[in-house]
């Protein structure tokens, strides 16, 4: 069993979902408040990773992380290392790849909050920040939990993007899905099956948590 | 005192002038889409008019010339929303607590005192979803009062509850308001509700205030026919003022009516007149009353219906080319006089009850 690959995958998924919490909240909040005509274009751009083949997204990210590019160049001058084929590069790519899974659930939850509740909070003397923390965030909580769990599970099962920009460096960029692929290529079906079953169990448990939590939350509000 | 003038052209026209004294309840009445809620939102700072001012107890909350526009948080407004807008994830206690300022929060019993005020003691731990419509309204009022507001705004607060609860809440609001010293503004499209609860009524139509005055003034002495239509005044007719035996009288078809208000007008002037259905006097067969000689007219009953002890009679007046009058009588009077459809009856339009309007 390639436990090292599990360690990389879980570390990557945790870091990605945690990073996506503030990023997803900020983008979703901005979109929920926006009424300008270009909103649809921005939303479409954020949702792109959902429909793009992972290899295409991976290719663009690989080009963007090249040492000659602004991003890759900046990383190189700061750390002396290449961004592509590194764990940090993989982390960055995972954030982009899972972005729609974080933004969409939070955005939908924020949009469902009746505008009068915000206005009632303002009339009760709450500042916009206090309204966000005391009214909007608690009401959007099911969406936030869904966003976190979905981005965690999605990152855990990431394959195409990892293969394109991470390569297959043990302990650094070799994730469980890459390791399963390797095992199959090496005709080690026993290991492939065991790892696949563990991934299946993790995915099922996390999704179950989302549904159970959201149902309970819905019941307490209604 | 709350004083305001709101002007706007886009997206909806606004031309509103209002005044509300401390402790006074001013009802904004008008049809749906007349701009009543917009006025309330402007006072609360949730919306800004293009021009005008809003002044509360001498402090400007909004003034486009002086570029003053206070945020809702800076205005100290207590607002009761149409659907109450209670925070569903917070208990009754927390819904109220959230609106208390730091100083009030030091008093452990602030929430209890407010709940006692709205007759909802003991409901602190409940959630909004566990409350009836009437109870939710009380929490919304308690939350609005928690802010120690300088103005209390009530946006159709009775529209989300059933009729029986509504009557109960009217009485509760009426007794609660006796202890409140701030100006209160109630938005409603229900004239009876406004007449029952308000000290002042302001009629708004298409974003314009048409008239502000006491319920008696607005309902029975509308400034013009536009107001009369908005307050659902019945029996609006037009006539001409002529001088007869040294006195100004209304000529209406073949009738000449004596009118108490005639002195405000000049002779040969075209005017509109109205009389409240409740102020038309039936010439009773069983017991003739005083006043039968005052502006008598006769007509044929063509419709009759009774609701909650009041019988409404619609009659076609003789010699008027089919002009109609509506009369409201206590049910027992209608029964005692055995009023039947198709029957001719005589009534008097009391001179004191006829109201004249220029336009």
pLDDT along chain B (359 residues), means of 10: 91 90 93 89 94 93 93 94 93 93 79 88 92 92 92 90 86 86 92 91 92 92 91 92 89 91 85 93 77 86 93 93 93 90 92 90
- Partners of residue B82 in chain A, C-beta under 8 Å: 116
Distance CA A64, CA A18 (A): 23
List residues in chain A touching B: CB distance below 8 A: 114, 116-117, 119-127, 134-135, 138-139, 220-222
To the nearest 10°, report the CA torsion of B72, B76, B79, B84: 80
Instruction: Delimit the domains of chain A by residue range.
Output: 3-56+86-221
Residue A222 has pLDDT above 50, yes or no: no
Backbone angles phi, psi at B20, to 5 degrees: -140, 120
What is the reported pLDDT for B167?
A: 87
What confidence tier does A85 reach under pLDDT thresholds 50, 70, 90? confident
A137-156 vs A87-112: helix crossing angle, rounded to 10 = 150
Residue A218 has pLDDT above 60, yes or no: no
Cβ-nearest to A122 among B72, B78, B101: B72
What confidence tier does A40 reach under pLDDT thresholds 50, 70, 90? confident
Cβ-nearest to A124 among B71, B127, B147: B147
Chain B residue at shortest CA distance from A137: B89
CATH class of A3-56+86-221: mainly alpha
Distance CA A39, CA B21 (A): 46
Say if B125 is an interface residue toward chain A (CB within 8 Å): no
Chain B residue at shortest CA distance from A130: B98
Chain B residue at shortest CA distance from A220: B89
> Distance (Å) from the C-alpha of residue B258 to the closest C-alpha of chain A?
54
Q: What is the bridge-based pairing of β-strands B280-282 and B344-349?
A: antiparallel
What is the reported pLDDT for A6?
A: 85
Q: What is the mean pLDDT of chain A?
A: 87
Backbone angles phi, psi at B74, to 5 degrees: -90, -5
Instruction: Delimit the domains of chain B by residue range.
Output: 2-230, 236-274, 277-350
What is the tens place of the pLDDT at every residue in B236-281?
999 999 988 888 899 999 899 999 888 888 888 899 999 999 999 9
What is the reported pLDDT for B291?
A: 65
Chain B residue at shortest CA distance from A131: B98
Q: Which residues 294-333 of B are in CB contact (within 8 Å) with A?
A: none
> Distance (Å) from the C-alpha of residue A136 to the closest C-alpha of chain B?
10
SS3 content of chain A, % helix, strand, coil (to 5): 80, 0, 20
What is the reported pLDDT for A214?
A: 73
- Partners of residue B146 in chain A, C-beta under 8 Å: 124
A122 and B46 within 8 Å at the Cβ level: the answer is: yes
Residue A108 has pLDDT above 80, yes or no: yes
B89 and A138 within 8 Å at the Cβ level: the answer is: yes
Residue A171 has pLDDT above 80, yes or no: no
A117 and B78 within 8 Å at the Cβ level: the answer is: no
Cβ-nearest to B85 among A114, A125, A220: A114
Distance CA B63, CA A62 (A): 56
> Distance (Å) from the C-alpha of residue A128 to the closest C-alpha of chain B?
9
Cβ-nearest to B85 among A116, A134, A222: A116
Fold of B277-350: OB fold (Dihydrolipoamide Acetyltransferase, E2P) (2.40.50)
A-B Cβ pairs (cutoff 8 Å, strict): 61
Distance CA B43, CA B28 (A): 13
What is the reported pLDDT for B311?
A: 95
Residue A216 has pLDDT above 70, yes or no: no
Complex-level ipTM beyond the 0.90 threshold: no
Backbone angles phi, psi at B90, to 5 degrees: -110, 150
Structure tokens at B87: 């925070």
Say if B79 is an interface residue toward chain A (CB within 8 Å): yes
CATH of domain B2-230: 3.40.50.300
A127 and B73 within 8 Å at the Cβ level: the answer is: yes
What is the reported pLDDT for A202?
A: 87
Cβ-nearest to A125 among B73, B87, B129: B73
> Distance (Å) from the C-alpha of residue A19 to the closest C-alpha of chain B?
27
Selected for mutation to probe chain A from B88, B127, B145, B156 (highest A CB count within 10 Å) is B88
What is the tens place of the pLDDT at every residue in B153-212?
999 988 888 888 888 888 888 888 888 889 999 999 888 899 999 999 999 999 999 999
Backbone angles phi, psi at B132, to 5 degrees: -75, 170
In percent, the amount of chain A with pLDDT more than 70 equals: 97
Chain B residue at shortest CA distance from A138: B89
Distance CA A183, CA A83 (A): 27
Query: Strand order in B310-317's β-sheet?
Result: B280-282, B344-349, B296-307, B310-317, B324-330
């Amino acid at each position: 069993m390639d436990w090292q690959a599990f360690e990389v995958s879980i570390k990557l998924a945790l870091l990605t979902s945690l990073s996506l919490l503030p990023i997803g909240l900020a983008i979703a909040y901005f979109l929920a408040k926006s009424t300008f005509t270009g909103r649809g274009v921005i939303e479409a751009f954020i949702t792109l990773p959902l429909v793009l083949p992972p290899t295409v997204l991976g290719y663009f990210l690989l080009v963007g992380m090249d040492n000659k590019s602004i991003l890759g160049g900046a990383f190189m001058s700061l750390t002396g290392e290449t961004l592509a084929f590194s764990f940090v590069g993989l982390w960055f790519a995972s954030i982009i790849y899972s972005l729609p899974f974080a933004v969409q659930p939070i955005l939908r939850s924020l949009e469902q909050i009746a505008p009068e509740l915000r206005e009632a909070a303002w009339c009760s003397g709450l500042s916009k920040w206090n309204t966000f923390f005391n009214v909007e965030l608690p009401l959007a909580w099911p969406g936030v939990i869904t966003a976190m769990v979905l981005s965690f599970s999605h990152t855990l099962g990431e394959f195409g993007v990892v293969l394109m920009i991470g390569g297959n460096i043990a302990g650094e960029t070799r994730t469980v899905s890459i390791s399963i692929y390797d095992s199959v290529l090496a005709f080690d079906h026993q290991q492939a099956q065991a790892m696949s079953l563990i991934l299946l169990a993790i995915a099922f448990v996390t999704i179950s948590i989302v549904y159970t939590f959201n149902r309970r939350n819905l019941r307490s509000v209604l | 005192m709350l004083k305001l003038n709101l002007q706007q052209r886009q997206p909806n026209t606004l031309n509103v002038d209002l005044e509300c004294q401390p402790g006074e309840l001013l009802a904004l009445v008008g049809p749906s889409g007349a701009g009543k809620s917009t006025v309330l939102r402007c006072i609360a700072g949730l919306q800004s008019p293009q021009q005008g001012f809003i002044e509360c107890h001498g402090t400007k909350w909004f003034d486009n010339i002086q570029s003053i526009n206070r945020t809702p948080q800076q205005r100290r407004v207590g607002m009761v929303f149409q659907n109450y807008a209670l925070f569903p994830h917070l208990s009754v206690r927390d819904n109220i607590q959230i609106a208390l300022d730091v100083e009030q929060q030091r008093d452990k019993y602030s929430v209890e005192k407010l709940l006692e005020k709205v007759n909802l003691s003991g409901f602190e731990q409940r959630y909004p979803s566990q409350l009836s419509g009437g109870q939710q309204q009380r929490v919304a009022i308690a939350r609005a009062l928690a802010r120690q507001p300088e103005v209390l705004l009530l946006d159709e607060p009775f529209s989300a509850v059933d009729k029986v609860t509504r009557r109960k809440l009217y009485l509760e609001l009426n007794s609660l308001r006796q202890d409140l010293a701030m100006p209160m503004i109630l938005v409603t499209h229900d004239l009876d509700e406004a007449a029952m609860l308000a000290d002042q009524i302001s009629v708004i139509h298409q974003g314009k205030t048409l008239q502000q005055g006491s319920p008696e003034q607005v309902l029975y002495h509308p400034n013009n026919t536009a107001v009369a239509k908005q307050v659902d005044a019945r029996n609006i007719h037009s006539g001409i003022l002529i001088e007869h035996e040294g006195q100004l009288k209304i000529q209406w078809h073949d009738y000449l009516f004596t009118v108490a208000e005639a002195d405000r007008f000049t002779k040969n002037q075209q005017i509109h007149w109205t009389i409240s259905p409740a102020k038309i006097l039936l010439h009773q067969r069983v017991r003739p009353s005083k006043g039968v000689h005052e502006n008598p007219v006769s007509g044929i009953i063509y419709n009759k219906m009774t609701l909650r002890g009041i019988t409404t009679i619609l009659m076609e007046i003789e010699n008027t080319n089919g002009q109609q009058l509506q009369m409201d009588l206590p049910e027992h009077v209608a029964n005692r006089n055995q009023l039947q459809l198709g029957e001719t009856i005589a009534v008097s339009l009391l001179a004191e009850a006829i109201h004249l309007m220029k336009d």
